[in-house]
Amino acid sequence: MKNKKLVALLLTAAMLCVTACGSTGKTEAPAPAPEKSEETEAPAEELTEESEEAEAPAETTADADLTPIDNYPASSLQITVPPSAGGGTDTLIRQLAIYMEEYLNVPVTVVNKSGGGCAIGFAAGATDPNDGSCITAGVAELNGLPYTTDFEYSYKDFEPICNFNACYGTICVPAAAPYDTVEDFVDYMKENPGKVRFSNSGIGGPWHLLAAKFASIADVDIVHVPCDGGGPAAIAAAGGNVECVPVSDAECKTYLDSGLLKMLMTFSPERLEAFPEVPTAAECGYGEASSVVVYRGFLAPKGTSQEVLDAVDAATRYALAQPEVQEFMQNNSFTSNYMDAAAFGELLSGMDKICDEMTQELGIAVEK
């Protein structure tokens, strides 16, 4: 029942984003098209970044009573991560993988296959063997790619396993920017139409849609700069190569802590515990844009056996129950939102319909 309520909440909120998206006044920057993926492979290793003030994870269906198994169907497990190394998806999955390996009793390796706004990683994941040796990180870019590019795969080419995280966007700008409030930032954009650049995780991805919605409400003309994941998008802003990045606080945290970025607004329902001084979009008059929620979960190639799906789901719940993982998520602003396969599948289907409608409203849908 909890899964059903969570799916309904996320989809109802996301549906609001379709309304009034038609006139973004946007200027699209060409998306980079790497000839090959930036593929990096490393065994799971613990990544920590301490912060005394961080948002506590929400309640999760983690199971501390699960015990490791010795009969996983494959001799190893590779987790393909479509976003680039160092981003929120990558860092969280590497932490989970430590304890998934402990539960499954087989080596678990995390491999980044980035490029094409996550298209390269998803294409690899969809065509991986379905024998339990490979799974893929499921992120919201999977829903937008089929409608904004000639990408031939979709969520229907995967088996949903579970979802473990949801997050909200922010408005973060370089620390040296001449504005300290969203109001001043909007005034600046109106004075410089078509010149303010927003980096995102890829055209059609959640942060692109969030920026477009924000621009529509503010009635400003912006430039969308696609990157291969939220991590690179945050780096672009931290380095002063763009004027704004709308990704989650988890992906911007390193640069916020180091003083390279400052946060003007969050799209979360309430103020973040880690940044209590930062107002929400609703407080600033941009509440409609708060509907864009990003999910993170696990997907398996189509046709993967139920035995494998159940084992990986259990391994994920086992990992989420570990105190070290819970501390990591709290310290790094990751909210835990567990959904089982049925609920995650419903979310994927609902988000697919929303992206179809939204990309057409924004004028970025491709004809097929």
| Percent of all residues in the chain with a pLDDT value above 70, rounded to a whole number | 82
CA distance 313 to 320: 11
Residue 357, in any domain of the structure: yes
Residue 36, in any domain of the structure: no
pTM summary value = 0.78
CA distance 162 to 131: 18
pLDDT digits (tens, 9 = 90+) for 274-309: 899 999 999 999 998 876 778 999 999 999 999 999
Reply yes or no on whether the pLDDT at 31 is more than 50.
Answer: no
pLDDT-based confidence at residue 201 (cuts at 50, 70, 90): confident
- Count of structural domains within the chain: 2
- With tokens 């931290």, the residue in question is 238
- State whether 140 and 231 are in the same domain: no
What does the mean pLDDT of the chain come to?
85
Reply yes or no on whether the pLDDT at 38 is more than 70.
Answer: no
Question: How far is it between the farthest Cα atoms of the chain?
Answer: 63
- State whether 12 and 99 are in the same domain: yes
Q: Let me know if 29 is exposed, middle or buried by CB neighbors in 10 A (0-12, 13-18, 19+).
A: middle
Residue 45, in any domain of the structure: no
pLDDT digits (tens, 9 = 90+) for 77-121: 999 999 988 888 999 999 999 999 999 999 999 999 999 889 999
Of residues 178, 194, 149, the one with CA closest to residue 355: 149
- State whether 206 and 173 are in the same domain: yes
Structure-block tokens of residue 45: 């290793």
CA distance 236 to 234: 5
Q: What one-character-per-residue DSSP string does 27-85 give?
A: EEPPPP--SS-EEEEEE--------SS-PPPPP----TT----S--SSS-EEEEE-SPT
Region 212-238: mean pLDDT is: 92
pLDDT-based confidence at residue 363 (cuts at 50, 70, 90): confident
Buried b / exposed e across 64-86, counting CB within 10 Å, b at 16+?
A: eeeeeeeebeeeebbbbbbbbbb
Continuous segment of H or E residues that includes residue 330:
helix 323-331
pLDDT confidence of residue 229: 82
Domain containing residue 154: CATH number: 3.40.190.150
Query: Considering only 11-20, 138-147, 257-266, 335-344, which range has the smallest mean pLDDT?
Result: 11-20
CA distance 207 to 170: 9
Reply yes or no on whether the pLDDT at 13 is more than 90.
Answer: no
Domain boundary, last residue among 291, 309, 338: 291
Top pLDDT among 256 and 363 is at: 256
CA distance 287 to 216: 12
Side-chain half-sphere exposure of 25, counting CA atoms within 13 A: 16
pLDDT-based confidence at residue 25 (cuts at 50, 70, 90): very low
- State whether 176 and 99 are in the same domain: no
- State whether 10 and 134 are in the same domain: yes
Residue 24, in any domain of the structure: no
- State whether 220 and 151 are in the same domain: no
- State whether 226 and 334 are in the same domain: no
pLDDT confidence of residue 354: 81
- State whether 153 and 81 are in the same domain: yes
Query: Domain span at residue 192?
Result: 169-291
pLDDT digits (tens, 9 = 90+) for 69-79: 999 999 999 99
CA distance 228 to 100: 26
Domain boundary, last residue among 291, 318, 348: 291
Looking at residue 240, what DSSP letter applies? T
pLDDT confidence of residue 5: 52
- State whether 159 and 75 are in the same domain: yes
184 three-class SS: helix
- State whether 221 and 343 are in the same domain: no
Top pLDDT among 204 and 123 is at: 123
pLDDT confidence of residue 19: 36
- State whether 228 and 355 are in the same domain: no
pLDDT-based confidence at residue 361 (cuts at 50, 70, 90): confident
Domain boundary, last residue among 262, 291, 320: 291
Residue 41, in any domain of the structure: no
Neighbours of 160 (CB within 10 A): 24
Reply yes or no on whether the pLDDT at 193 is more than 60.
Answer: yes
CA distance 201 to 84: 10
CA distance 2 to 339: 9
Q: How far separated are the first and last CA of the chain, in Å rounded? A: 38
Looking at residue 285, what DSSP letter applies? T
Structure-block tokens of residue 71: 């009969």
Residue 21, in any domain of the structure: no
- State whether 122 and 10 are in the same domain: yes
Region 22-32: mean pLDDT is: 39
pLDDT-based confidence at residue 15 (cuts at 50, 70, 90): very low
Residue 31, in any domain of the structure: no
pLDDT digits (tens, 9 = 90+) for 312-358: 999 999 999 999 999 999 988 898 889 999 999 999 998 898 888 87
Q: What are phi and psi of 110, to 5 degrees?
A: -100, 125
CA distance 55 to 268: 11
Residue 85, in any domain of the structure: yes
CA 31 to chain centre: 18
| Percent of all residues in the chain with a pLDDT value above 90, rounded to a whole number | 61
